[in-house]
């Protein structure tokens, strides 16, 4: 079965550079979530989109922005990267209507800021 | 959103039953309780979900008392491959309200 696809798997950037992370949800899933997980930490919710509109916002820095496109894929744009942005970034998708839907996570993008 | 509290870590021997309890005192009427498993450098993976009473699937059971202020994930006869972090999430996904917060998970270590 198709899963959530994230690209790239690994990304190395330098401070003050920009990065774009991509997420392709499971077909027919209309909701996308982004999480950040630092080394040894628990996943932190960043932002979510439902039907291409932002639905909820968590601890996402102002330097980050995200959107969901007409084909439901999503991109997380990160600017002015800082060392502390080094983390594993997960995307998850769900079908947003049922209330008891479960999240399906991708394998993540490991971002290293040098 | 309901805040959850779990033990930070647990140790078990292979073949034993492991029960991980999660407290969620301010769970809302419509909230579901969902457990995820995460291996290092991998995305969390759905284990089981419930609303009340008991739910069982091929990998685990979930026990939810009548007041729903806590839940217990039961893993029967754990193996070394069950060593992972287990998260209890409480909430409701409705599309327009799509925020599920991970608390501090329980790090389960299974040894021989």
The predicted-structure confidence for B19-47, as pLDDT tens digits, reads as follows 999 999 989 888 889 999 999 989 999 99
State whether B43 and A51 contact (CB < 8 Å): no
Per-residue pLDDT of chain A in tens (114 residues, 90 and over written 9): 689 999 999 999 999 999 999 999 999 898 899 999 999 999 999 999 988 999 888 889 999 999 999 999 999 999 999 999 999 999 999 886 666 778 899 999 999 999
> What's the rounded Cα separation, in Å, for the pair A62 and A68?
17
Q: Supply the pLDDT for residue A16.
A: 97
Q: Reply yes or no on whether the pLDDT at B1 is more than 70.
A: no
State whether A56 and B97 contact (CB < 8 Å): yes
Q: Supply the pLDDT for residue B94.
A: 63
DSSP, residue by residue, A72-97: S-EEEEE-S--GGG-EEEEEEEE-TT
Distances (CA, A) of A20 to A8, A57, A80, B106: 9, 18, 12, 32
Cβ(B51)–Cβ(A100) under 8 Å?
A: yes
Q: Supply the pLDDT for residue B88.
A: 94
Q: Reply yes or no on whether the pLDDT at B91 is more than 70.
A: yes
> What's the rounded Cα separation, in Å, for the pair A79 and A96?
29
Retrieve residue A71's tokens.
Answer: 């084909």
Q: Supply the pLDDT for residue B2.
A: 64
User: For testing the chain A interface, which of B98, B99, B106 should be mutated: the one with the most A CBs within 10 Å?
Assistant: B98
Closest CA to B50 of B38, B60, B37, B39: B60
State whether B99 and A43 contact (CB < 8 Å): no
Tens digit of each residue's pLDDT (9 = 90 or more) over B92-106? 766 555 677 888 999
Q: Supply the pLDDT for residue A59.
A: 85
Query: Is it true that the peptide bond before A8 is cis, omega within 30 degrees of 0?
Result: yes
Cβ(A13)–Cβ(A81) under 8 Å?
A: yes
Q: How far is CA A5 from the centre of its chain?
A: 11
B-chain CB neighbours of A57 within 8 Å are 99
Retrieve residue B101's tokens.
Answer: 């917060």
């Amino acid at each position: 079965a198709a899963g959530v696809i994230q690209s790239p798997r690994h990304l190395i950037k330098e401070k003050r550079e920009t990065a774009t992370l991509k997420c392709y949800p499971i077909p027919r899933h209309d909701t996308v979530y982004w999480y950040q997980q630092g080394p040894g930490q628990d996943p932190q919710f960043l932002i979510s989109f439902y039907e291409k509109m932002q639905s909820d916002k968590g601890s996402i820095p102002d330097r980050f922005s995200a959107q969901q496109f007409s084909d439901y894929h999503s991109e997380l744009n990160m600017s002015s990267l800082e060392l502390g942005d080094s983390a594993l970034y997960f995307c998850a998708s769900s079908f947003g209507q049922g209330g008891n839907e479960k999240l399906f996570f991708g394998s993540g993008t490991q971002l290293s800021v040098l | 959103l309901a805040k959850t509290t779990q033990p930070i870590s647990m140790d078990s021997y292979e073949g034993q039953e492991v029960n991980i309890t999660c407290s969620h005192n301010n769970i809302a009427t419509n909230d579901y309780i969902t457990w995820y498993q995460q291996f290092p450098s991998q995305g969390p993976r759905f284990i089981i979900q419930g609303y009340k009473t008991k739910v069982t699937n091929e990998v685990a059971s979930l026990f939810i008392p009548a007041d729903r202020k806590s839940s217990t994930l039961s893993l029967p006869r754990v193996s070394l491959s069950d060593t992972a972090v287990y998260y209890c999430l409480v909430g409701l996904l409705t599309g327009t309200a799509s925020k599920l917060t991970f608390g501090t998970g329980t790090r389960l270590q299974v040894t021989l």
